């Protein structure tokens, strides 16, 4: 059963208070990630905790879809081999970044997220997620699904809750729109990704979302990140409008450390002084993220430049920089879209790009 | 009774769908703010609505602590006098910015927010809000209250829910800490301002917060803004880490248009390329906001530069730029603070600054 | 004979004083580009000027390697056909951007710059310019030339005057280093591109530079741009550290309007809030510049990210975004380079990238 | 006689080549500033140099208006007392920043620059420099001088060479305008500050400029900075459009290390993502510069916000942040100014501000 008790979080926060009340005068805090054997016994676990208490390490248990971990936080130097060789321990790592569980330093093998039907997201696979900015009507949904199916696209994007700068703008069709869309898409064998804006929405959306998207404006909404850590669906986390790479990785750490390691990171352009485009696509971030984390990295060229005319070039560039997938806006009639029309491709434009992207991905994989 | 049904919001969003489905092809949308007489009759109101239907304007009713408004959204040109002279109408304005209700174009007289005990926030009054970044312990609360009372400071700041980039950092004492603090402060005649991070926290916090603070990371958390529009407490809204002035005003519009016009805006430094300080205080924003909106403008020099050594100069500069108040971090032992110690003043440093700020405010008011 | 009298510039500035003394109150200044027939007669030219005087247009004559133009500046509306049909006129265009001569609105066909030996720079051709940040020694020159020749690279980059933030850093070998390098390179059939930092250097460098590079810090050094407009060698103009696309195009306009239309624009990363890399490569700029101007666009991935490990991905992304060429730093022993070692590829790394880039270019051209 | 031989620079650069060819593999380079006695003997100097050669330090001699220094660059650790106690040595400091001579770590006492007639620039004195963006005509000069004299302003600003983004904009009256202006101003006992854009202009301008201004676009034009180091006039150095504080200090270091220590630094707003104003005034920079360097710090509120309506508030804020002076644009009829009219104050507006600024300065000095 899903519950938003946040009890795990609270217990965790509490256990850290003491550690941190001291840490301000002495910065050399150490963190270790201990991966437990699947069949660790209760007494083995107890011995491990005792060992950690001896060296005055606070512990936090993280259980995800893929593993069971103890995160230890303390200050003493210690011999990690003394712990690593204990029974019931699969692996142990010392980590020094501000992000730990999402770091490639610890987990060298990249995370590949699988969806039902054999859809894979991550290194070695190329995913396209396409669809309108906003879900607008049944007709629009049907036309888009038809377009995607024809082109072999297996994930549809769309918003039913829209974050809008002005309160007087269209804010989306809400949960009823989501249900309608989800059912139509699943009939056609297509998965959906959609934005969740607040903790309260999660429970209602959960049966009708294949991937939760966290928008740029919520990239440091830590309560939302915590709550998505307790959810059994993958999360695509967008970089903040002026978020750093470190902040993005730390946001992902929130989700992972609360129990969900099926996370994708999304570069969607950053805010700079340049006003010629809506955002400035940060291709560097794609290259660096693929190197720093084991999580899949997705690029959003539609927001990355915000101008339809150039979306194709930005998409292709993102693939060359290392992106594992592209999320992009398409609409049967971009000029009539409720939102983001100026950065949305028409179906024929999109079709041309799908082919080019697949060729670019193939070339890159051959390097 | 407080309820988070959001019914008003939903109704509003819904009524706008049609308007917006067309507006994408034709941008010339018009907005008008109609202020109703306090004792408008039902039939007068009905006639007004009929009139607006005639010119195909969608309407939204906004009721706040101070007034009752109809916001009309449509596209036809019309003679505002034809509506302004109807019975039951106090005032009518046509507005063209993306922010309307918070604009000075419509309401020339500045908003002054009053708290119990004669505390005034806004033009012509100077407010100091001081206290630690995080509420840490009973002893800390007492010492701070004592320091504030001695110096005639009537509002204490402090966090019980802390947004932290890393999930492994101290996240605050929570609601129990808030209750303890609130009671201690009120015994001493001091009001408190504290950050709310999510809609779910509002109800529990409501009896124990005099002013709700929305943090920089939540400045575009539109659900939170909507919900705070339904709350009977003032809200201090911080500018986003890379938020524009327009975005800040539009965020305030969310709160106002949901029924709460007791809003303060807070400049707290922006993210730029310069890494010599934590943020870059944007003095220009203070000067411009005082000109664009009738809402009070508060400056946060602690975050504005992030380095204790220069907080005083940034505070004084902010006052000269037009700030109606200063929110700043003080701690008995900054070097032992759980968070933000490097930008927190000690009590003696703060005392010196309080005096200087009051002199600077006096000089400015004399200009 | 080359002379830096700037007489053309002065005359031009002078003639504009009157025009501009009025223009502040009335913004609707018009510009037209009139391309003259190669064999326009003196009397035809006189009639044209008379016509322009009639409509109170100030004129400026621009003569480049490729054409002869009159730029007219005035405010009256006029029928361009009345001028376009006059004898001796090849073409006439009205232009409204702040950049005119470099705009694609006026000249639809892209500029392709030819160097001796059949080297072409511009749309449809792919150029690689590689070499060290600084020219350091004879041995280094020889090894690099050998590496380039082996890989079919025909343009070598290198600096003999180095702009350095600190006056205590290595500033380059100067003119003697340039002569040595030029001679060695030309023996091997390789052209060179090198940075010029000040007007005074141009005359001495002229015989020994195949392409002049203007660095990011000089991108608005208007005197230098003016002077390079009078020089018979191509110029590669780097975007300013925080220069906009418009400013880059206007800088190019300086060079063109002084008589040199053999200009390349270079995207080399911009300064943003992100500190994870030296600069943020702006892929959007490449896509947009190729659309706005007829000039060749070159990408500099070495400065674009500033970290050797990612230079290859950024280079390949730049090609997909539309770059006509890549300028990059290579060194036999990057860790021993006098400057920029951390962003310089070793010879084997570079060789691998040359092949990939050529494949990426080929794929793109096939789209 | 003034000569631009740059021989000192070249010798210096040369002497550093060896030092730097090694330094890339070992970063721990040390610098020391040795201040010589005014009457150090040749043999004492020789002994000092010998001593430095022993510890393999390269040396550079800097002679300014105020002192005679040896800058030593090397890597070995050494006992500075062994040098400090040698005859002929007044003082010795080890420095570790990238800027040395301009650092307050070395020279605790602030530099105060004196102009003829008892004008002082620096800590404890408050200077106003006012005038038009561009010098336009004799009449304009006379009216401005009259306005300044009436208000006790002793330094007039104005440009005769204007750096303009577009080559089609007004570029200034040039050297003849300067002579006219200089003579008129000096008759009235007023000094002038004007921008120099290139090395070639210095010699002609030298007799007619009291203070040279280096504009934001030339803040890293290192050749210009070098040349101004050899000039006997004070230099006001503007921060680059997106220049860091460190870069500004290093630019000043260029001037100082070439022999001119009469330098002022000028904060004039930086480029950020915010488009509501031309630039974002960086008040933090003023506070920090006053702490890091002994040089005077001047604020330019006209460019700092770029909007006439707010220039007063930004000016007053700058003073509170610690500025030693204000440089601002005034014009008899701002709406008719050739350039920058939108940020230029009228005479009555300026008069009101002069009084307020003097009061603000007085208040600050009393703190």
Q: What is the CATH number of the domain that holds A49?
A: 3.30.70.1140
Residues within 8 A of C (CB atoms), D 280-299 only:
none
Closest listed residue to residue A174, CA positions, set A165, A182, A166:
A182
Spatial separation of the C-alpha atoms in residues A148 and A181, rounded to whole Å:
14
- Best of A240, A241, A269, A273 to disrupt the D interface (most D CBs within 10 Å) is A273
Higher pLDDT, D125 or B83: D125
pLDDT averaged over consecutive 10-residue blocks of chain C (367 residues)? 32 30 45 89 91 85 87 79 87 78 87 95 98 96 98 97 79 93 98 95 96 96 94 96 96 93 97 96 98 97 97 98 98 91 96 98 97
The sheet carrying A89-95 orders its strands as A58-63, A68-74, A30-36, A89-95
Of B24, B224, B242, the CB nearest to A336: B24
**B140 and B86 inside one domain:** no
Out of A17, A168, A198, whose CB is closest to B16?
A: A168
8 Å CB contact of A320 and C322: no
| Distance between CA atoms of residues C133 and D110, nearest Å | 39
What's the token pair of residue B3? Answer: 């309820």
Mean pLDDT of chain B: 88
pLDDT in tens, A172-188: 899 999 999 999 999 99
| Judgement on whether residues A182 and A272 belong to the same structural domain of the protein | yes
Residues D27 and D126 in one domain: no
Q: Residue B191's beta-bridge partner residues?
A: B155
The pLDDT of residue D31 is above 90: no
Q: Which one of B273, B275, B276, B280 would you mutate to disrupt binding with C, by most C Cβ within 10 Å of its Cβ? A: B273
CA distances from A279 to B334, C244, D300 (A): 39, 13, 30
Which residue among A25, A253, A338 places its CB closest to the CB of B167? Answer: A253
Straight-line distance from the first to the last Cα atom of chain C, in angstroms, rounded to the nearest whole number: 46
Instruction: Please check whether residue B100 lies inside any domain of the structure.
Output: no
Judged by CB atoms closer than 8 Å, whether chains meet at A20 and B169 is answered as: yes
Q: Determine the length of chain C.
A: 367
In the prediction, which pLDDT does B220 show?
A: 93
> Looking at chain D, which subunits does it touch, using at least 3 CB pairs closer than 8 Å as the criterion?
A, B, C
Picking from B11, B22, B167 by the largest number of A CB atoms within 10 A of its own CB, the best residue to mutate is B167
Least confident window among C154-163, D71-80, D218-227, D276-285: D71-80
Same domain, B277 and B220: yes
> Does the distance separating the beta carbons of B335 and A24 come in below 8 Å?
yes
* pLDDT for residue D3 is more than 80: no
pLDDT at residue B263 is higher than 80: yes
Contact D50, D83 (CB under 8 A): no
pLDDT of residue D363: 98
- What is the least distance, in Å, from the CA of D297 to any CA of chain B? 14
What range does the domain containing D32 cover? 7-95
Nearest-neighbour CA in chain C from D359: distance (Å)? 35
Nearest CA in chain B to C278: B273
The Cα of A30 is separated from the nearest Cα of chain B by a number of Å equal to 11
Residues D71 and D137 in one domain: no
The answer to whether residues C206 and C340 belong to one domain is: yes
| Same structural domain, D91 and D210 | no
Stretch B263-271: mean pLDDT, rounded? 98
**Do A194 and A277 fall within a single domain?**
yes
CA distance, residue B357 to nearest chain D CA (Å):
10
Beta carbons of B20 and A271 less than 8 Å apart: no
For residue C28, the model assigns a pLDDT of 58
User: Which residues of chain C make contact with B273, given a CB cutoff of 8 A?
Assistant: 242, 271-273
Please indicate, yes or no, whether residues D306 and D168 belong to a single structural domain of this protein: yes
Q: A258-287: per-residue pLDDT in tens?
A: 999 999 999 999 999 999 999 999 999 999
Residue B2 lies in a domain: no
Residue of B nearest to D367 (CA): B356
Number of residue pairs across B and D with CB atoms under 8 Å?
A: 126
Chain B residue with the nearest C-alpha to that of A166? B250
pLDDT bin (cut points 50, 70, 90) of residue B29 is: low
As to burial, measured by CB atoms within 10 angstroms (0-12 exposed, 13-18 middle, 19+ buried), residue D135 is: buried
Comparing A291-300, C28-37, D62-71, the range with the smallest average pLDDT is C28-37
> Helix, strand, or coil here: B175?
helix
Contact call for residues A119 and A155 (beta carbons, < 8 A)? yes
Helix, strand and coil in chain B, % to nearest 5: 40, 20, 40
* Residue D105 belongs to a domain: no
User: Nearest Cβ partner of A313 from C274, C313, C320?
Assistant: C320
8 Å CB contact between D159 and D302: no
Region of poorest pLDDT, from B18-32, C108-122, D330-344? B18-32
Mean pLDDT of D168-174: 82
- The pLDDT of B102-119, averaged and rounded, is 91
Residue C270 to residue A270, Cβ atoms within 8 A: no
Chain D neighbors of A275, CB-CB under 8 A: 275
CB B331 within 8 Å of CB B280: no
> Which one of D68, D95, D122 terminates a domain?
D95
> Does D333 have pLDDT greater than 90?
yes
**Entry field: residues in chain B:** 367
Interchain contact, D313 vs B305, CB within 8 Å: no
Q: Cβ of B283 and D283 within 8 Å?
A: yes
Q: What pTM value is reported for the model?
A: 0.88
Q: Looking at beta carbons, which residues of chain A come within 8 Å of B174? A: 10
Residue A219 lies in a domain: yes
- SS3 label, residue A366: helix
User: Tokens for A87?
Assistant: 């029974």
- Across the interface, whether the CB atoms of C272 and A275 are under 8 A apart is answered no
Mean pLDDT of B114-136: 96
Residue D75 banded pLDDT, cuts 50, 70, 90? confident
**D263 touching C, CB under 8 A?**
no
Give the closest of A242, A271, A273 to D271, CB-based.
A273
Burial class (CB in 10 A: 0-12, 13-18, 19+), A87: exposed
In a domain, A189, yes or no: yes
Strand B325-329 vs strand B297-299: parallel, antiparallel, or unpaired? Answer: parallel
**A259: CB partners within 8 A, 6+ apart:** A8, A62, A63, A64, A229, A230
**Residue D362, number of CB atoms within 10 A of its CB:** 12
Indicate if the pLDDT at residue B8 is higher than 50.
no
| B-contacting chains (≥3 CB pairs under 8 Å) | A, C, D
Indicate if A117 and A25 belong to the same structural domain.
Answer: no
A172 touches chain B (CB under 8 A): yes
Query: What angle is formed at CA C18 by the lines to CA C14 and CA C23, rounded to 5 degrees?
Result: 125
Q: Which residues of B touch C275 (CB under 8 A)?
A: 275
Per-residue pLDDT averaged across A131-143, rounded? Answer: 96
Q: Could you identify the residue written with the tokens 């120099």?
A: D196
Residue D13: predicted pLDDT: 32
D21, D221, D271: residue with CB nearest C221: D221
Give me the total of CB pairs closer than 8 Å, taking one residue from chain A and one from chain C: 126
What is the C-alpha to C-alpha distance for residues B342 and C157, in angstroms, rounded to an integer?
46
Nearest to C24 among D71, D199, D341 (CB): D341
pLDDT tens per residue, range C261-280: 999 999 999 999 999 999 99
Nearest CA to C171 out of C355, C338, C354 is that of: C338
CATH number at residue A127: 3.20.20.70
**pLDDT recorded at residue C11:** 30
Q: How far apart are CA B80 and CA B98, in angstroms?
A: 20
Whether residue D317 lies within 8 A of chain B, CB to CB, comes out as yes
Span B105-122, mean pLDDT? 92
Min Cα–Cα distance to chain D from A30, Å? 28
- Looking at the complex, report in whole angstroms how far the Cα of residue B290 sits from the nearest Cα belonging to chain D: 10
State how far the Cα of A105 lies from the Cα of B228, in Å rounded to an integer: 42
Q: Rounded mean pLDDT of chain D?
A: 88
- The nearest CA of chain D is from the CA of A132 a distance in Å of 28
With left for phi above 0 and alpha for psi between -120 and 50, is residue D6 left, alpha or beta? left
For residue D48, the 8-state DSSP code is H
Task: Give contacts of C253 with chain D, Cβ < 8 Å.
Answer: 166-168
Q: Are B76 and B56 in contact (CB under 8 A)?
A: yes
pLDDT tens-digit profile of B175-228?
999 999 999 999 999 999 999 999 989 999 999 999 999 999 999 999 999 999
Residue at a domain's end among B40, B63, B95: B95
In a domain, B308, yes or no: yes
In the numeric block, which tokens belong to residue B34? 């109609």
- The answer to whether residue D1 sits within a structural domain is no
Confidence (pLDDT) at A38: 87
Q: Which chains touch C (3 or more CB pairs under 8 A)?
A: A, B, D
- The least confident of A5-9, C338-342, D324-328 is A5-9
How far is the C-alpha of C264 from the C-alpha of C243, rounded, in Å?
Answer: 16
Beta strands across the sheet bearing C58-63: C58-63, C68-74, C30-36, C89-95
From D112, D156, D108, D110, select the one nearest D134 (Cα to Cα): D156
Number of cross-chain residue pairs from A and D with Cβ atoms under 8 Å apart: 8
Determine whether the interchain pair C17/D335 forms a contact, defined as Cβ–Cβ distance below 8 Å: no
In chain B, which among 76-135 make CB contacts under 8 A with chain D?
Answer: none
Q: Residue D126 CB: number of other CB atoms within 10 A? A: 18
Q: Which of A20-29, B279-288, C88-97, D185-194 has the lowest mean pLDDT?
A: A20-29
**C72 and C15 in a common domain:** yes
Say if the Cβ atoms of D272 and A275 lie within 8 Å: no
- Report the residue from A286, A305, A316 with minimal CB separation from C320: A316
**What is d(CA D285, CA D282) in angstroms, rounded to the nearest whole number?**
6
- Of the residues C60, C95, C130, which one is the last residue of a structural domain? C95
Residue C147 CB partners (closer than 8 Å, separation 6+): C330, C332, C347, C350
Please check whether residues B30 and B132 belong to one and the same domain.
Answer: no
ipTM surpassing 0.90: no
Torsion angle in degrees (nearest 10) through CA of C261, C267, C273, C277 = -150
* Burial of residue B86 (number of CB atoms within 10 Å: 0-12, 13-18, 19+): middle
What domain count does chain D have? 2
Distance from CA of residue A263 to its chain's centroid?
A: 4
Q: What is the pLDDT of residue A320?
A: 98
Quick check: C140 and C180 in contact, CB under 8 A? no
In contact, B275 and B302? CB cutoff 8 Å = no
Q: Which residues contact A263 (CB under 8 A, 6 or more apart)?
A: A102, A111, A234, A235, A236, A237, A252, A255, A256, A295
Do A200 and B197 lie within an 8 Å CB cutoff? Answer: no
Domain assignment present for residue C306? The answer is yes
Interface test with B, best of A57, A167, A199 (most B CBs within 10 A): A167
């Amino acid at each position: 059963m899903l519950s938003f008790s946040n009890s795990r979080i609270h217990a965790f926060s509490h256990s850290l208070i003491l550690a941190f009340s001291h840490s301000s005068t002495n910065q050399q805090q150490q963190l270790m990630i201990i991966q437990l054997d699947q069949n660790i016994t209760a007494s083995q676990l107890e011995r491990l905790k005792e060992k950690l208490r001896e060296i005055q390490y606070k512990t936090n248990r993280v259980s995800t879809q893929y593993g069971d971990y103890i995160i230890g936080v303390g200050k003493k130097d210690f011999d990690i081999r003394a712990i690593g060789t204990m029974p019931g321990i699969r692996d142990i790592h010392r980590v020094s970044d501000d992000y730990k569980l999402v770091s490639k330093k610890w987990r060298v093998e990249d995370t590949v997220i699988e969806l039902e039907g054999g859809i894979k997201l991550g290194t070695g696979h190329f995913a396209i997620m396409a669809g309108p900015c906003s879900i607008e009507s049944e007709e629009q949904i049907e036309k888009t699904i038809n377009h995607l199916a024809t082109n072999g696209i297996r994930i549809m994007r769309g918003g039913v809750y829209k974050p809008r700068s002005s309160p007087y703008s269209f804010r989306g069709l809400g949960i009823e729109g989501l249900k309608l869309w989800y059912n139509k898409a699943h009939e056609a064998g297509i998965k959906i990704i959609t934005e969740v804006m607040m903790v309260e929405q999660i429970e209602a959306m959960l049966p009708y979302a294949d991937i939760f998207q966290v928008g740029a404006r919520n990239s440091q909404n830590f309560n939302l990140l915590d709550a998505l850590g307790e959810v059994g669906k993958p999360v695509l986390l967008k970089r903040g409008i002026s978020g750093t790479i470190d902040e993005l990785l730390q946001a992902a750490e929130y989700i992972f450390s609360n129990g969900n390691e099926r996370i994708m990171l999304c570069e969607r352009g950053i805010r700079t002084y340049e006003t010629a485009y809506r955002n400035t696509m940060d291709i560097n971030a794609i290259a660096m993220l693929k190197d720093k984390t084991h999580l899949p990295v997705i690029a959003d060229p539609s927001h990355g430049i915000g101008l339809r005319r150039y979306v194709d070039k930005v998409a292709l560039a993102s693939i060359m920089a290392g992106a594992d997938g592209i999320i992009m806006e398409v609409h049967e009639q971009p000029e009539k879209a409720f939102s983001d029309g100026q950065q949305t491709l028409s179906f024929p434009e999109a079709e041309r790009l799908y082919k080019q992207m697949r060729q670019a991905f193939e070339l890159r994989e051959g390097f």
